[in-house]
Structure 1
Amino acid sequence: MFPPYTTFAAVRFDMARGIDFHFDNDFNSTIEYVRSNLPNPLLGFENRNDGSNVLTMIDNFTANNQVPVCGSRLLILVKRYPNGNDISNLATKLREYHITPSILASNNPSGGNQSEILYDLATQTNGLCGFYKDEEMGKAVGFVPSCFNPYLIYATNPLVVGKGILDLPVLHVPTNNFFWFTITIQNDGGPTSAVETVLLKWTSNNSENGKFEKDGDNIYGWLFGNVMNKNSVLNSLIYNLTLDYEYIDGNQQRLQIRVHSTDPINTYFKSHLPTPSLSFASKDTGSDVLQMVDRFLDNTKAPVCGSELFILTKRYPNGTDISQLISKIRRYHFAVTFMASRKPSGGNSPEMLYDLASRTNGLCGFDDDNKMGYSVEFFPTCFNPFLIYAVNPLVSGKGTVQLPPISVPSESFVGFWFSMTVQDSGPINVVQTALLSWSNTTVYNKGSHIGLKDTNSGDDVLYGNHISNWEDMNKAIYSMTLDYEYLDSKSRRLQIRVHGRSSNPVNYWPPFDN
């Protein structure tokens, strides 16, 4: 699934011999074009003193006569900085056309001397400019709002120095939805050691609704380079925003704060929200979620083979035999993802949801009701639909298990999404370590890991019983290892899944593990 763009464009710049824009109506074709035109140092500028022609490239795009440019989103990866240029005319043009650039710049440039020009252009046009290590670029793409969260609802650029608290312009949220908060914590690619505290909070009705912060080495959110991100569910209200900051040097910093919506509003869901008065009266009554899945499989209005089903459930089913339903789901290669409440309104068999997902290459998460909105974005069903790996290792106590290797079918422009449950429906506080590692020493991306180690999730995203993150991999076979430690002796079956986006679809169904 990809945001509803109608036209895509790609171009290489900073080359001794310029090339034209490639326009396409298909995202996958555009990605193939990018893969076949990756940077080649032999074709680039030879002198480090030569500045990037990225600004000329942007100007050429606005002047093209092949596609309309109004409302465009630009995602620009830059290894070389421009040299001094007046950007006032270009900034005016981008504002006129409502074009917002998201610039991902290397903090180890191959040339040029004016990184502040990139940052200033993004500041003046409601865009974003991040500075990253080269090896972070692939992961950072998945966190900038240009591609996957295209609907900007808020932008401000506060000027800060030293220590203080700022009241920012209020945030008017147009409708209940998921929103993506982004803030740069400094305006260049230098070390962030001078950034002691950056705390952005949003409140309504005098109660705190959300925040993200950097407090020394403690991060509440996701921090890559100079850019921090966090998603949040907001209601259609007016929110007050405050920024607490502390920098240990005396340099002024112009920060960029942006709020984007992940999707346009779906009017059907808004008009069919849960109504307690229409639900089952007794807590003893089990959910009919399994019957609902079966009815969908038998429907005659839409094909079901290869469907992705995403289910939010507040009530658990009661005990029943699910073997026939599992057989039917497997026959149709039907993927079921459950997001279930830790505090159900009824029913007594959460393990049935988990078992159904385990045996059909699906995924089953359990989380608190107030975290559901966050968790949804980190489940692979909607945004990363192409499953390439699925295993369900059985673990107990403490140990290490060698898993089946993963065969990566193709390179990916934005990486692969790793998801793993670290617990079934039981308590999360018994989990000490559940760490998945992969390696191949013969390729560029030699391996990495996700999970918990001594209850610490590091940069990975942990909600409820599941943890996930983007990871870069090459087209290769990687060995897979799981280290685990639990405080009890119970046996539990974990779910490990690896998905790709539409940029790397596959033409096969991964085998079922059990």
Structure 2
Amino acid sequence: MVSSAKWYTTMANVRFDTKQEEEIEYHTDYKNLNASLRTHAPDPSLGYGNNTTGSNLYAVLKKFLNNGKVSLCGALVFIAVKRYPDESDVSDIITQLRANHVFVYIVVDSIPSGGSNSATLYEMSFKTNGYCLFASYWNLVEGFQFMTFVLGKYQFVAQNFWVSGSGRIELPAFNTPTPVDWVEQLAITVQNHTLDNSFVSMNYTVESTDGSYIHQFPSNQSYPLFGTAESNFLYLNGSLSYKWTIDYHYNTDEPQIIECRMYSYYYHDFLPLPDFK
């Protein structure tokens, strides 16, 4: 994560959910960011010391959005959450994030240390074309690592699908911004809450329309599902068109959300955001 931050002119970090609120630290050098992260590692002794207080994440985010020091346009925000917030309406924050094309990426521990509402965390990432994964233990660590690999890349696919039961999704044929063979990143999520027994399976295929390339999940060429998200690297070529087909199976008729994302090292303009009222 830190080494990829060198692609950015400004970086920032802060711990939240501490008894003594900490200030956001801004950096212009990724080495300074690394040093700050190392000296501000998570420390339970600084926390609230109970399992009832909600997270102060949104208060910290508001400070960032109103910092007056650095440009926000196109910023990527990565958040690791153990304590859930209590707020049920964060539309003001989401509106401000969207107005500045800020992408929010969140990993949420499925075993919270406090708080009551994880739904707004998912909503905030969803409405900004980021994504949110729920996991615990090692899956949380691995999922967060893959999530941060989007640093230094441009999003060129961002689509969302409401599904239930079993079925198939076929995304419209697309092209990568990459002019030659190059590594692109894919991410997909399968639920908008902690993974539960209603999820049975998901598999997908990314294939060139001329049949010369195929990537499948699950397979020995893919990484596994970490909690509710899976991410992989594909070798795509800008001269070809590709199709992404997803088969899903849930044992419920309750609506589920599948998020589909792709990223390239080559420039692509901001994509349309999901509807938000």
Could you tell me which residue of structure 2 aligns to residue 224 of structure 1?
Answer: 226
Change (3 A) 1:194 1:123: same
Corresponding position: 1:100 with 2:100: no
What is aligned with 2:186? 181
Rounded to whole Å, the distance in 2 between the matches of 1:212 and 1:56 is 41
249, 252, 255: which one aligns with 1:252: 255
In 2, are the aligned partners of 1:72 and 1:100 still within 8 Å (CA)? yes
Does 2:37 match 1:34? Answer: yes
Residue-by-residue CA offset, 1:137-178 (whole Å, 9 max, x unaligned): 443332114554532111111111110112224423222331
> Which residue of the partner structure matches residue 55 of structure 2?
52
User: 2:120 maps to what in 1?
Assistant: 117
Q: How many residues align?
A: 261
Give the equivalent residue in structure 1 for 2:129: 126
Distance 1:124 1:178, change over 3 A: same
- Separation in 2 of the partners of 1:83 and 1:25? 34
- In the TM superposition, residue 248 of structure 1 has moved relative to its aligned partner by 2.0
The TM-score with structure 1 as length reference comes to: 0.47
Which residue in 2 is equivalent to 1:457?
Answer: none
Residue by residue over 1:69-116, the C-alpha shift from the partner in whole angstroms, topping out at 9 and shown as x without a partner, is 111111111111111321222222111111111111111110112112
Amino acid at match of 1:180: Q
Matched, 1:205 2:209: yes
1:85–1:146 CA distance, 2 compared to 1 (3 A) = farther
> Cα distance, 1:206 vs. partner?
5.1
Q: Name the TM-score, length of structure 2 as normaliser.
A: 0.85
Paired AA for residue 185 in structure 1: V
What per-residue deviation string (whole Å, max 9, x for no partner) do you get for residues 388-434 of structure 1? Answer: xxxxxxxxxxxxxxxxxxxxxxxxxxxxxxxxxxxxxxxxxxxxxxx
**Cα distance in structure 1, aligned partners of 2:225 and 2:204:** 14
**Equivalent residues of 1:75, 1:146 under 8 A apart:** no
- Cα distance, 1:9 vs. partner? 0.3
What whole-Å deviation, never above 9, does each CA across 1:42-94 have from its counterpart, x for those lacking one?
A: 32223322211212222221111111111111111111111132122222211
Structure 2 CA distance, aligned partners of 1:210 and 1:84?
A: 43
Indicate if the aligned counterparts of 1:145 and 1:180 stay in contact, CA closer than 8 A. Answer: no
Alignment match, 2:272: none
Unaligned ranges ≥5, structure 1:
266-514
Higher strand share goes to which structure?
A: 1
Residue in structure 2 matched with residue 43 of structure 1 by the alignment: 46
Question: Residues 270-293 of structure 1, C-alpha deviation per residue, up to 9 Å, x if partnerless?
Answer: xxxxxxxxxxxxxxxxxxxxxxxx
Q: CA deviation at 1:259?
A: 0.4
Task: Tell me the distance in 1 between the aligned counterparts of 2:142 and 2:93.
Answer: 29
Q: In 2 relative to 1, CA 205–255 (structure 1 residues): closer, same or farther, beyond 3 Å?
A: closer
Shift of 1:220: 4.1
Worse-matched range after superposition: 222-231 or 129-138:
129-138
For residues 85 and 216 of structure 2, the distance between their equivalents in structure 1, rounded to whole angstroms, comes to 32
Between the aligned residues of both structures, percent identity stands at: 30
SS in 2 for 1:257: strand
* Number of the residue aligned with 1:14: 17
**2:143, 2:229 within 8 Å by CA — same for their partners in 1?**
no
Query: Which stretches in structure 2 are left out of the alignment for 5+ residues?
Result: 268-277
Q: Is the 8 A contact 1:212 1:230 kept in 2?
A: no
Q: 65, 68, 71: which is aligned to 2:68?
A: 65
Corresponding residue of 2:274: none
Instruction: Say if 1:138 and 1:198 are closer, same or farther in 2 by CA, change over 3 A.
Output: closer
Distance 2:142 2:232 in 1: 15
Query: Partner of 1:221: helix, strand, or coil?
Result: coil
Contact between 2:173 and 2:244, CA under 8 Å: does it hold in 1? yes
Task: Give the number of the structure with larger relative contact order, counting CA–CA contacts within 8 Å between residues 6 or more apart.
Answer: 2
Q: Secondary structure at the match of 1:222?
A: coil
The aligned residue for residue 76 of structure 1 is 79
Is 2:204–2:218's contact at 8 Å kept on the other side of the alignment? no
**Structure 1 contact 161–247 (Cα < 8 Å) conserved:** yes
Aligned equivalents of 1:234, 1:246: Cα separation in 2:
28
Which protein shows a greater Rg?
A: 1
Q: How does 1:5-404 map to 2 (within 5 A)?
A: 5-145=8-148, 147-148=150-151, 150-175=153-178, 176=180, 177-191=182-196, 193-205=197-209, 207=211, 209-214=213-218, 220-236=222-238, 237-261=240-264, 263-264=265-266
Distance 1:202 1:55 in 2: 37
Structure-2 residue corresponding to 1:314: none
